Amino acid sequence: MTKYVIGPDVAMLLAVNQAGIRDEHEILAPTLIRSQLLSLLYGAVRRGEMTKKDADQQLNYVRGLRIRLLGDRVLQDVAWKIADQLGWSDTFDAEYVALCQLQGDALITLDGRLADAVKDLVTVAPIEELS
């Protein structure tokens, strides 16, 4: 079983496409993803990019995915170190990288800058590996 860490960008794209995830994969994310996804969807509705109904459907789709959410003290400590090492202004992205280092096999992100910044710390995989 391959363990992939996904961010809110990937979760949102999965929801938009109603994409299935192969059974042999386990999806991991920091608990932070729930708030980030909610904020992304809220922003999209506010900008008129989607309706509230569409946002609700996408949120419900993601809530139905088998995502193992983690956010313990060890994850936070490692995230702090990663953010400090990379000179980041916050620890949000570092939580995903930390989770990948601690329990994941690869990080899936749509953010090219993030992928490039962490390529020496974790394996970065394309979203196509999920389906």
Predicted local confidence at residue 126, as pLDDT:
96
Which pLDDT value is given to residue 40? 94
pTM assigned to the model: 0.94
Report the pLDDT averaged over residues 91-117.
98
Topology, domain 2-130: Rossmann fold (3.40.50)
Given pLDDT bands bounded at 50, 70 and 90, which one contains residue 21? confident
pLDDT at res. 23: 86
Question: What's the confidence (pLDDT) of residue 17?
Answer: 86
- Which pairs count as long-range contacts for 58-64, CB under 8 Å and 24+ apart, including other chains? 58/12, 58/15, 58/16, 59/15, 61/14, 61/15, 61/18, 62/11, 62/12, 62/14, 62/15, 62/37
